[in-house]
Chains A and B, each alone.
Chain A
Amino acid sequence: MASARPLLLSIVAGTLAAGCGPKHVAGTTRPGQAMVALLPDSETGLTGRAVVSNEGGSADLAAPRDATLATSRRRPGAVKTLSAADVERFFGDALSALPPAPRHFTLFFRFESDELTDESRALVPEILRAVKDRSDPEVAIVGHTDTMGTPPANVELGLKRAMMVRALLVEAGLAASTIEVTSHGEGDLLIRTPDEIPEPRNRRVEISVK
């Protein structure tokens, strides 16, 4: 298997170098050579961006399956687009071991209250279903506030909201041992505001099910 990998990389090096790549890339692979491929997000279908760089220069990956082959201290190779079959061939095993995407729920509170809105309360059964779908479920509950008040006081307030939601979920049948509660206070605003601005959409608890 150790001998198969350089061969695979040689093939890709050839693919990537075909046309405009420097000749030395094709057919020769050195220890420490790396191939980086940009992939579309499997949930959203959207593709992000990545920049591959070293002392020799950089390569921009921007389109689905864009790939570059990099060798130390040399400018990363010209960007080429891999076929879906190539992605499967080179990365299929690794991709098959990706954990399921975490699911997120945001619960909002009634104005100046510790009570959840009706819409938020109605999400509870769906949260419980997401937990049941997993073999090793983890539930993270994170409390958030708006920018009214001091940062330390808001960390405390966010924690209070998160603990309330935790109690609600445990009451609904969730195992307490799978739940972790934290607070980000005013440090992770949903709606960016200046300091000391009341904003109901920032007064929330976010739940992630992993």
Chain B
Amino acid sequence: MNRLRWSAGVVIAVLAAAAPVLAQQPSAAGRVKVVSGSAFVVRQDATIPAQLGQDVFETDSLKTGADGRIGITLKDDTRVSLGPGSELRLQRFIYEPGSGSLGMVLQFVRGAAAYVSGRMAKLAPQSIRLETPAAIVGVRGTSLAIRVDH
């Protein structure tokens, strides 16, 4: 705990030093690595057909149609994939181990999904939250499958 508090102090110092850099465009949270059938990235009000190698950002949603599948790999090596008729929102993703800033919130909205934890789960498992409409899942170095009825 003391160590965490100390880190928080460092974070503030580093953030202050890096303020001009942080004003730039947000960096991608991850990338589309697998896509087939109808699969989309929803960003604000735009629904963009997903493409291999496409960047995904915090607050983006992934959506698949009846024949669609999509798989992404995030910056910390977390992998998430969706089967057909599914939706997931990348509500929050911060991965800056250099400054101690870590956080991930994935919202499983509907359909079937697979999740394989990455480095964030090793560094700070308490900073990860997987949300479904019915319950929240806390993880510890874990592969999971989640299915949400809608």
Contact = CB atoms under 8 A, between A and B. Distances in A.
Interaction A to B: yes
Interface of A: 1-2, 5-6, 8-9, 29-42, 46-54, 70-72, 76, 87, 90-102, 135-136, 138, 140, 151-152, 155, 158, 182-185, 187-188, 208, 210
Interface in B93-148: 97-100, 108, 111-114, 116-118, 121, 123, 132-148
Contacts of A49: 139-142
A156 to B, nearest CB: 11
Contact of A97 (B100, B114, B117, B136): B114
A35 B148 CA distance: 6
B49 interface: no
A182 B106 CA distance: 25
Interface in B26-49: 31, 33-34, 36
A93 B149 contact: no
Given A138-B31, A184-B97, A90 B144 contact: no
A-side interface mostly: mixed
Nearest to B53: A136
Contacts of A36: 132, 135, 137, 144-146
A201 B109 CA distance: 43
Contacts of A52: 135-137
Interface residues on B, range: 35 or more
Contact of B112 (A6, A50, A93): A93
14 contacts: A5-B149, A33-B148, A37-B146, A48-B142, A50-B140, A76-B134, A98-B71, A98-B114, A99-B73, A101-B77, A140-B75, A158-B98, A183-B98, A188-B98
Contacts of A48: 117, 121, 139-143
A70 B138 CA distance: 14
A32 B140 contact: no
A100 to B, nearest CB: 8
